[in-house]
Structure 1
């Protein structure tokens, strides 16, 4: 079955056409609505997509939707009711869900007879138990305003945990895997038997690990202090913590490759940024070892995780007493298994494929 996967951003549309697991076409339309951009609006962008790919025999369109709230634990066929629910979740994902809604609306208009399926980044984390999603705040406030941990990067964590179990010959229903999705956005996840039981991102993709431009975990009092004492408006604080924090805030660069180059040149700011980044990963690995009661594997994925031997080595340094070690030569070559033979906890590098995971989830949902 042919599946067209669409990832609609605020100013871009990424697409990939599958036939089973084979990629038939893929592309990216950028700077939508901008002067000199590829398209004037999302409808024009999707018309370009439709013209660029062979839609003969198309079975469905799968849409990446960042936020599904607490309602959805799996891929779901889109109808008017579901569209309204996704609209209602815009306050929880104001930068992401509106773009997805635009893509869905246009795709439904252009392909009215083709099933449209939403695949939510949050869905994989619906298996986290209540004590892993509740915040210790006024329960009535939390319920009224839907404040809880949701988690993100779910398609990546699901795909990579499953592929790691296959790589190591582990039974998928019993494997304990810590997945580290390290890109410009970054998150960690504890996966037990193929189910998410803990994840670092929370109500939004802001919390947890240090990221390219996002702070990750920060004491909420920092926000109060900047507002009351420094006199900064809330909007400016939010912009600072989401666009000018993380590696960007510490080193003036949001790309880990550049940070590592400056670190090698002796730049103290880049060195601190690298060390903070890796320490936070190590802290979450330790936390998830406790949550899982041990781990069969730790896996690195996404742009930084797949391509930075330095980050992988520094993030797991000093954990030999816990059975976690890295073979330096294997790590430098970015082999699929970078731990030594016989290691108690195996360390892996597994490329993610979120679009393929979306296509497979769409197919599974339609075959039900």
Structure 2
């Protein structure tokens, strides 16, 4: 048996999953939340259980959180004291231009991730902390960094460059990086398998729609464009992020509204998107309000779907040939109305949903296009943790 532990360390949380890689099966998963806060708690679920235990427990820091994870794993018979643990995979948000694939972690890699903190000041420090405490907790296990940005490092120059003076790219690395790459990669491979098509031949547009949302145009299995940019703020409308915006809005907010740069950053990242339009960012609540005739909730849905449709059309034009579209993540997988409205009126370009198939639900990947649709349309449950585990296993096996 070969086991991989996947860790996702946030500023106040640690999420983990232990995989049996022979069966691609989760042996244990857990989430430590509100680390360093009075309401901190620990949720844990072992294989075969349908529900997790949510235990209020004082977790003063990430180091203590990792100790709890080690103790929990030690109580799991399948873990066998770590005898089968061959690698630990870490989600790292930003790899800049330095990392185009999963990378075995050493001191040089840690220092490189540290140098990239200005590009992801909210995420990379927490990811680094997870790496450092994991190396102390499991000193004899190979550790691998899997970057959200890596899948998009195949973007051509004309897709990742911004039309600003080149010196700012050269000095400050200002360019499009894209995110959700682990999810986009996983979904693309799932669709290739479903179509029995080599990954190297597949042209697909993937919509990762959750509280954060992004689109990716993928030609021959490689990302050639994506909606998020230097940061996750650009692109589609999201739960609390504005998405695409005239840059002059920032200057206007500063001069006319008197907002500071920090206030504008908060406004665009945490107070905009669905929340900014209708007051809530939970798509379920937004949809509920549309049923009561709430005009602003209806506007939020219309804008959300309109932006998806714009990207769909643009990426179709860029790809030239489109084999499939895939919807994934919380909204993409679970909200038929969003899929239907986003694809409505596109039969003339070969995209048409079957209403009954779109409304159906069930586990696993499924097709929802009509019998006359030239383009396949899929709903694909994403699994970023499994993708990280697979990339980690490939990396440690190659060493």
TM-score, normalised by the number of residues in structure 2: 0.91
Alignment counterpart, residue 281 of structure 1, candidates 308, 319, 323:
308
Contact 1:178-1:298 at 8 Å conserved across structures: yes
Question: Aligned-pair RMSD on alpha carbons?
Answer: 0.9
CA distance in 2, matches of 1:114, 1:180: 35
Q: How far is the alpha carbon of 1:342 from its aligned partner?
A: 4.2
Among candidates 213, 235, 241, match of residue 208 of structure 1: 235
- Tell me which residue corresponds to 1:2: 3
Name the SS of the counterpart of 1:173 in structure 2: helix
Structure 2: gaps spanning 5 or more residues: 42-58, 74-78
- Which runs of structure 2 are paired with 1:306-317 in the superposition (5 Å)? 306-317=333-344
Displacement of 1:171 in angstroms is: 2.6
CA offsets 1:309-363 (integer angstroms, 9 cap, x no match): 0000001111110000000000000461000124210111010000000000011
Q: Secondary structure at the match of 2:95?
A: coil
Count of aligned pairs: 368
After the TM superposition, which of the residue ranges 167-176 and 195-204 deviates more from structure 2? Answer: 167-176
Residue of structure 2 equivalent to 1:22 = 25
> Does the 8 A contact of 2:354 with 2:368 survive in 1?
yes
Aligned to 1:147: 174
Q: 2:61 aligns with which of 41, 52, 64?
A: 41
Contact preservation (8 Å) 2:306, 2:342: yes
Q: Which runs of 4+ in 1 moved over 6 A?
A: none
Answering whether residue 374 of structure 2 is matched by residue 344 of structure 1, we say yes
User: Matches of residues 122-271 of structure 1 in structure 2 within 5 Å?
Assistant: 122-271=149-298
Q: Does 1:79 align with 2:80?
A: no
- Distance in 2 (CA, whole Å) between partners of 1:313 and 1:128 is 29
Question: Which whole-Å CA distance do the structure 1 matches of 2:72 and 2:360 have between them?
Answer: 37
Whole-Å Cα distance in 2 between the matches of residues 276 and 320 of structure 1?
A: 21
Give 3-state SS (helix, strand or coil) of 2:206's partner. Answer: strand
2:246 counterpart SS class: coil
Q: Does residue 1:361 correspond to 2:352, yes or no? A: no
Whether the aligned pair in 2 keeps the contact of 1:309 and 1:334 (CA below 8 Å) is: no
Which one of the candidate residues 329, 346, 359 is aligned to 1:302? Answer: 329
Contact 2:5 2:16 in 1 (8 A): yes
Q: 2: distance between equivalents of 1:47 and 1:254?
A: 34
In structure 2, what is the Cα distance between the partners aligned to 1:141 and 1:301?
34
Q: Deviations over 1:255-282 (max 9, x none)?
A: 1111000011100010000000000000
SS of residue paired to 2:200:
coil
How far apart, in 1, do the equivalents of 2:372 and 2:355 lie?
A: 15
Give the TM-score, by structure 1 length. Answer: 0.99
Please list the CA deviations of residues 174-232 of structure 1 after superposition, one character each: whole Å capped at 9, or x if unmatched.
Answer: 11010000001000001112111110000001100011111111111000000012111
Matched, 1:324 2:324: no
Task: Tell me the distance in 2 between the aligned counterparts of 1:315 and 1:48.
Answer: 44
1:12 corresponding residue in structure 2: 13
- Partners of 2:35 and 2:236 lie apart in 1 by 30
